[in-house]
Amino acid sequence: MVIAGTEGYTESADSLIARYESVSFAEKYESVFHLMPEKTSDVLDIGAGTGADAAWFAAAGHRVLAVEPTDRLRDSAKAIHPSPLIEWVADSLPDLRKLISLGQSFDLVLLTAVWMHLAQQERHKAMPNVAALLKADGVLLMSLRHGPVPENRRMFQVSVDETILLAEREGLRNTLNIEVQSAQLINRQAGVTWSWLAFSKSYA
Domains and CATH numbers, the chain: 13-201 (3.40.50.150)
The pTM score is 0.88
Mean pLDDT confidence for 5-10: 48
State the SS3 of 97-163.
HHHHHCCCCEEEEEEECCHHHCCHHHHHHHHHHHHCCEEEEEEEEEEEEECCCCCCCCCCCCCHHHH
Label residue 189 by pLDDT band (50, 70, 90): low
pLDDT in tens, 49-66: 999 999 999 999 999 999
pLDDT in tens, 139-156: 999 999 998 787 777 899
Mean pLDDT confidence for 78-85: 95
